[in-house]
Amino acid sequence: MALCEAAGCGSSLLWPRVLLFGDSITQFSFQQGGWGASLADKLVRRCDVLNRGFSGYNTRWAKIILPRLIRKGNSLDNPVAVTIFFGANDSALKDENPKQHIPLDEYVSNLKSMVQYLKSVDVPENRVILITPPPLCETAWEKECLMQGCKLNRLNLVVGEYASACLRVAQDCGTDVLDLWTLMQKDSQDFPSYLSDGLHLSPKGNEFLFSHLWPLIEKKVSSLPLLLPYWRDVAEAKPELSLLGDGDH
């Protein structure tokens, strides 16, 4: 006898999702102590956190692949929140890193296109969070560049221009935004300590990002219940009575 027949299967259990879309800072976020891993831990049994980070990618490439990650379908399957976290590669200097560099006006256009695409597949603006690139520690990043046989290919001032553009897009499109570039440098903080190599996040930087992102995510997931009953609440004689309901416990 099939397992489902034996158990008397209930309806399929809908498991909400949060989608993290970005470059290497998102891809690496599931490492130990990473901001994505912290988010997944915080939301366990309430929703899945999907890592769709692509190391080295910019918004030109991100705009192309986004429709392969989310398509129009059952609205109940749509993410309850989406982070869009690009700019660290777009802001690379054109002369030193032409492959990753994206002109500022195109960066703006690409971000807007992604927000508009999400809206077209029933992920409205109020579910979207844009994240600016973090500040760049030029001294540390230059060492990384020299080890790879190239010159310094990013400048913090330029990264700041892309961060400001990201803020404008969020304002124009009506999304939430996390201004990481400004927050990490606020009140003369030692922002290089938030970075592992001048560009990517250190453990302290991951913790900083998570602490500022969580309040924005929490607003979007606060109504989600814990999925399936607490173990002490499962009916001992007939567990299926507890386990084949709607899962809202």
- Taking only the tens place, the pLDDT of each residue in 145-158 is 999 999 999 999 99
Digit-coded pLDDT (tens) for 190-247: 999 999 999 999 999 999 999 999 999 999 998 888 888 888 988 888 898 888 875 4
Digit-coded pLDDT (tens) for 89-130: 999 999 999 999 999 999 999 999 999 999 999 999 999 999
In this structure, are strands 176-178 and 128-131 parallel, antiparallel, or unpaired? parallel
Output the CA angle 183-188-192, nearest 5 degrees: 75
Active site residue 197: yes
Give the full edge-to-edge strand order of the sheet including 48-53: 48-53, 17-22, 81-85, 128-131, 176-178
CA 158 – CA 92 distance, rounded (Å): 8
Q: Which of 24, 193, 202, 242 is the catalytic position?
A: 24
> What value does the mean pLDDT of the chain take?
92
Active site residue 24: yes
Q: Which of 77, 197, 246, 248 is the catalytic position?
A: 197
Do 101 and 53 form a contact (C-beta atoms < 8 A)?
A: no
142 DSSP assignment: H
C-alpha atoms less than 13 angstroms from C-alpha of 63 in its C-beta half-sphere: 17
89 DSSP assignment: T
